[in-house]
Amino acid sequence: MDTAPLIDPFARAISYLRVSVTDRCDFRCTYCMTEHMTFLPKAELLTLEELDRLSSAFIRLGVKKLRITGGEPLVRKGILTYFQAMSRHLETGALTELTLTTNGSQLARFAPDLAACGVRRVNVSLDTLDPDKFARITRWGRLPQVLHGIEAAQAAGLRVKINAVALKGVNDDELFPMVDWCAREGHDLTFIEVMPMGDMGEADRLDQYWSLRDLRASLATRFTLTDLVERTGGPARYVRLEETGQKIGFITPLTHNFCESCNRVRLTCTGELYMCLGQEDMADLRAPLRASPDDAVLDQSIRAAIARKPKGHDFDYSRRRVEGQVSRHMSHTGG
């Protein structure tokens, strides 16, 4: 069997796979979903066994980092079975990191088991520390439940990184309180520009857009920022706040194109492989997966998909309309 690593047309080795295990979520965040979402029929989703087989194929072909996403991954029924299956690749050393991005709502219940499966850190999406604002942003979420989940994750030995979407007129007044809270709690913090994913209303998206260049300039009024060369395999660029020693990340798909070092692809819960978050092109891996119990056809399909990975995306708000907008919601592709 051919186990040569996955190299895209621009000589980038693909070593990072993000797997969306469900498009469902127990929140309805205003920048991610409409309030009354139509979710995929459960019959269309890959089974947990199929997710195992697909993920294992990528690991065999050189993927070292596996991030589980959604929707909200922890609402997928039986999801611990999948984490337990992936832990065998950690034990052999084929996989160096197994992690997840979560809204934190289910962490209190799952954190000890995730730690037992070899998960060492989690990213928690949290845009505000104001309970009322949190309820407005998430529509269905409750902030105390998430904070309790974060505490449970820490108690289980998991390192927590907070991901906050920068939203003008929503949480731009919480920049320093969020930074201060993360410093006290020992969490790393990454800010993310709102991305043009899904038909959410173009005017709303533009009104929400808070450039991280402006956010960084605001941070610099209080802190001394030192750029770090450190990269974690994702798109974030990092600075250190010299006064606190904190590490702050910036994910800027709109004001800084981070594609030149892209080493990742995204697999949806229905077996679609997106070679670029900001492009519509995808490869159907569910068909070859189900066509044969032999992995040769599947491996060939994966290699053919990677051969189509583009150089980059073209998100752009600068012309006051959403250039490069893609039609699918973020919950479909996975965060």
pLDDT tens string, the chain, 335 residues long: the values are 677 889 999 999 999 999 999 999 988 888 788 878 888 888 889 999 999 999 999 999 999 999 999 999 999 999 999 999 999 999 999 999 999 999 999 999 999 999 999 999 999 999 999 999 999 999 889 999 999 999 999 999 999 999 999 999 999 999 999 999 999 999 999 999 886 544 444 445 567 788 899 999 999 999 999 999 876 656 789 999 999 999 999 998 755 456 777 899 999 999 999 998 777 789 999 999 999 999 999 999 999 999 999 888 655 444 344 444 445 445 555 55
- Token pair 């019959």: residue: 43
- Token pair 């979407």: residue: 165
Contact (CB, 8 A) for 299 and 312: no
**pLDDT for the residue 325:** 47
**pLDDT for the residue 195:** 67
**Residue numbers belonging to the annotated binding site for S-adenosyl-L-methionine:** 31, 71, 125, 195
Spell out the CATH class of 16-333: alpha beta
**Residue numbers belonging to the annotated binding site for [4Fe-4S] cluster:** 25, 29, 32, 259, 262, 276
**pLDDT for the residue 234:** 66
**Residue numbers belonging to the annotated binding site:** 18, 25, 29, 31-32, 67, 71, 101, 125, 161, 195, 259, 262, 264-266, 276
**pLDDT for the residue 197:** 46
C-alpha distance from residue 214 to each of 54, 76, 114 (Å): 41, 37, 37
φ, ψ for residue 57 (rounded to 5)? -65, -45
Spatial neighbors of 262 by CB under 8 A, at least 6 apart, are 12, 235, 276, 309, 312
**pLDDT for the residue 30:** 81
Q: Name the maximum alpha-carbon separation found in the chain.
A: 59
Residue 108 sits at the vertex; the CA angle it makes with 107 and 114, to the nearest 5 degrees, is 55
Report the alpha-carbon distance of residue 246 to residue 231 in Å, rounded.
15
**Residue numbers belonging to the annotated binding site for GTP:** 18, 67, 101, 161, 264-266
**pLDDT for the residue 254:** 57
**pLDDT for the residue 204:** 56
